[in-house]
Amino acid sequence: MELQRIWNAPHTQDDQPLRPIASGQHSRHPLFRLQRALRINMVYGVVITAVMGYLSLRAEEVPLMVLFWMITAFCAWSLVDTWRLARGLDTMVRAERSTLDELRYQRDAFDRWMRVQQRAGWFFYPISVVAGGLLGALAGGEQPFDVLIGDPRFLLLLGVLAVIFSPLCAWLARWMFCEAFGREVDHLRGAIEDLEG
């Protein structure tokens, strides 16, 4: 009898059209938030890739040009890899997976992406430090490129800078990942824990 009364009760709220979401409101869905953070990251990636490409074109010495092209290629690869992750970040739950399985899948894909980005950075941080040191020495010094490269003290200085600044760059990159994606990943992990428990 109770079910019949509920069934026959008028649902005036269901008959009204859906209200549009106000522009000031943001989705609380963890995958939407993660996708938004990835898009912001891609905008920065485009800017950095463009700057590195510009420096590559403006470099007058061939070794410096090669170093900057390598950095530009890394930035472009990182941008494409991020775009693939953002494109594959499905905010809808597929019929063949449960919500929990979909959230776990997306979390694992994001964790893989983050590990690959950080490991690839370890190869490119020393290259970036050496390119920056060369550019700084050429821009701020009076010595030509051949004299700088021929000076063993300068080469030793570049090596020491690479050894010092590469771990610093790795730490800074990890901090930037946490700043850019930490809250969203925490929300995603919290949603997974809620569904598990």
pLDDT in tens, 119-168: 998 999 999 999 999 999 988 888 888 888 999 999 999 999 999 999 99
Under 8 Å between Cβ of 149 and 158: no
What number is the average pLDDT over the span 99-116?
88
Q: Which residue has the higher pLDDT, 117 or 94?
A: 117
Q: Enter the tokens of residue 43.
A: 């905008």
Q: Mean pLDDT across the stretch 16-44?
A: 70
Task: Extract the tokens encoding 177.
Answer: 């990942």
Q: Rounded distance, CA 19 to CA 35, Å?
A: 24
With respect to residue 77, please indicate whether it lies within any of the assigned structural domains.
Answer: yes
User: For residues 75 and 52, is the Cβ–Cβ distance under 8 A?
Assistant: yes
Domain assignment of residue 4, yes or no? no
From residue 20, give the alpha-carbon distance in Å to each of 25, 30, 35: 11, 20, 21
Distance CA 121, CA 119 (A): 5
Note whether residue 15 is domain-resident.
no
Evaluate whether residue 192 is within a structural domain: yes
Asked whether residue 8 is domain-assigned, the answer is no
| Higher local confidence (pLDDT), 134 or 97 | 134
Q: What is the pLDDT of residue 19?
A: 46
Across the chain, mean pLDDT equals 84
pLDDT of amino acid 194: 86
The pLDDT assigned to 25 comes to 46
Residue 82 lies in a domain: yes
More confident residue, 10 or 148: 148
Instruction: Look at the chain and report how many structural domains it folds into.
Output: 1
* DSSP alpha helix (H) spans, the chain: 2-8, 12-15, 30-58, 62-88, 99-140, 145-150, 152-196
pTM equals 0.76
Domain carrying residue 191? 29-87+98-196
Any residues with CB less than 8 A from the CB of 83 and at least 6 apart, and which? 42
Annotate 91-141 with three-state secondary structure: CCCCCCCCHHHHHHHHHHHHHHHHHHHHHHHHHHHHHHHHHHHHHHHHHHC
How many Å apart are CA 110 and CA 35, to the nearest integer? Answer: 10
